[in-house]
Structure 1
Amino acid sequence: MNLKEIKGDYDAVFSLGHLCLSALQLRKMNMRPYAGPFDWVGTSSMPELCRLLRNRFADFMDPQNLRVTGYSTGVITKEPYISVTDDYYKIDSAHDFKAEQNTLDHLATYSEVMEKFNRRFNRFLEKTSTAKRVLFIRTSCTFEEAQELEEVLSDLVQNDFSVLLINHSNVTGIVENNWPLKHICAVELPDQEIWHSNDHYWKEMLDGVTII
């Protein structure tokens, strides 16, 4: 799949991690109509992300699997948060437990945080079941991992879907990989500074994509 093929109208759009970058870029371009479950968490392991999707989010952030790892800050602000890791799925939460309400020894707002995640899980599952066309965006993924992701999403999504998969490497512009995958458009972007320097490339890649 190539960039020309991902253009068009979509009924839903979701970031699949691995960092907050995809969600931030969608927000910059006013293409993020609602929050997704992976917007502000770290999902560095693609096999574990695929397992979570296969399990339909079962046991995500179960208290017995949580490990407090320290402090972090907000996505945009310097507001302090407690960082935790779900060791079962190897997912990091750095922006959910505000330090003013939680401590390293007690996650007082756990129930509130899980209510938020459950709303996002339900929205994700509802959209993937009913939308005519869904766009997913993921950073950091090998070809083999992409094959597994396409298989998992083919089972999860009831209608059509596309995945914009972005890896950062030593390139000077947008490089299309032309992987032989029906639903996945894999590209490479420059890796010198991924958070802001590639904004114009993101706009170019998503030009012609409309969320309806």
Structure 2
Amino acid sequence: MRLADIKGDYDGIFSLGWLCLTAIQLERNGLRPFAGPIDFVASYTLPDISRFLRNRGEGFMERGHLRFEHTFGGTHHLVKETAYNVISNHDFFAHQNDPVNLEMYAYVKTKYDRQRARLLERAANGKRLLFVRCGGTFDEVKELRDTLDEFVSHDYNLLHVSETSTKTLKETDWPLARVCSVELPGDHESVWNGNHDYWSYMLSDICYRELD
């Protein structure tokens, strides 16, 4: 697929990671009408996200799956969710949570349960969904596509972004149905600050519509 093929209206738009960058860019472009469970966790391994979808997120963020990693910048505890190998970067503020007790856990778990339920509802009822994922090899993206074929009841597209040594936006024309894959400049400054115009271009003429 090409970028031109993913234009149009969607009644569900979800980030599938790998960092919060994906959700941030959707937000910047007015395409994050609600939060999803993968928005603000670090999901480095795409096969684990495919497994999350196949399992319909069962067991996600259960208390027994959480392991304190370290405190970042003195303000946030980084906590690993070991069932699906993601890192919670933004949920447990150091001034509110002891690293062992995680006093805000009940609030955090309720939030993720609500987001997971919304994802499942849209996967079942949405007429056309868009998923956006940064990172992953061709074979990993193919596995994700095959998983989404089973997970989503109706139509969907997957926008896959690779951050590489390219100097500009490049459409890669991967031979995967429902998948539009592009490359963007991958140096740190470009990823976080320099690629905004590319993201706006990719997401132009894409709109969110309320589910009928």
- TM-score class, shorter-chain normalisation, is over 0.9
Residue pair 1:8, 1:210 contacting (<8 A) in 2 also: yes
1:80 shift after superposition: 1.6
2:100 counterpart of 1:105: yes
- TM-score, normalized by length of structure 1? 0.95
Kindly state the Cα deviation for residue 53 of structure 1 after the two structures are TM-superposed: 0.9
2:30 is aligned to: 30
CA distance in 2 between partners of 1:20 and 1:128 (Å): 21
Counterparts of 1:64 and 1:130 in 2: how far apart (Å)?
32
Is 1:169 the counterpart of 2:164? The answer is: yes
Give the structure 1 partner of residue 204 of structure 2. 207
Within the candidate set 126, 140, 146, 2:121 is matched to 126
Shift of 1:62: 2.1
CA distance in 2 between counterparts of 1:98 and 1:40 reads 14
Cross-structure match for 1:198: 195
Count of residue pairs the alignment pairs up:
207
Unaligned runs of 5+ in 1: 74-78
Q: Determine the C-alpha separation between the residues in 1 that align with 2:2 and 2:157.
A: 10
Residues 72 and 95 of structure 1 are in contact (CA less than 8 Å); yes or no, is this contact kept in structure 2?
Answer: no
CA RMSD of aligned residues (A): 1.1
Q: How does 1:22-171 map to 2 (within 5 A)?
A: 22-72=22-72, 80-171=75-166
CA distance in 2, matches of 1:210, 1:30: 8
Return the offset for 1:136.
Answer: 0.5
Secondary structure of 1:195's aligned partner: helix
Tell me if structure 2 keeps the 8 A contact 1:2–1:176: yes
Structure 2: distance between partners of 1:170 and 1:105: 41
Q: Look up the equivalent residue of 1:210 and give its one-letter code.
A: C
**Distance in 1 between residues matched to 2:4 and 2:134, nearest whole Å:** 19
Instruction: Please say which of residues 97-106 and 173-182 is displaced more in the overlay.
Output: 97-106
| 3-state SS, counterpart of residue 39 of structure 1 | coil
How far apart are residue 88 of structure 1 and its match? 2.1
Which secondary structure state, in structure 1, belongs to the residue aligned with residue 193 of structure 2? Answer: coil
8 Å CA contact retained: 1:20, 1:41: yes
Q: Quick check: 2:61–2:112 contact (8 Å CA) kept in 1?
A: no
Q: Which runs of 4+ in 1 moved over 6 A?
A: none
TM-score, normalised to structure 2, is: 0.95
For residues 104 and 198 of structure 2, the distance between their equivalents in structure 1, rounded to whole angstroms, comes to 38
The residue identity in structure 2 corresponding to 1:52 is F
Give the SS at the match of 2:183.
Answer: strand
Return the alpha-carbon distance in structure 2 between the equivalents of residues 65 and 10 of structure 1. Answer: 34
State the shift of 1:12 in Å.
0.8
Corresponding residue of 1:76: none
| Percent of paired sites with the same residue | 40
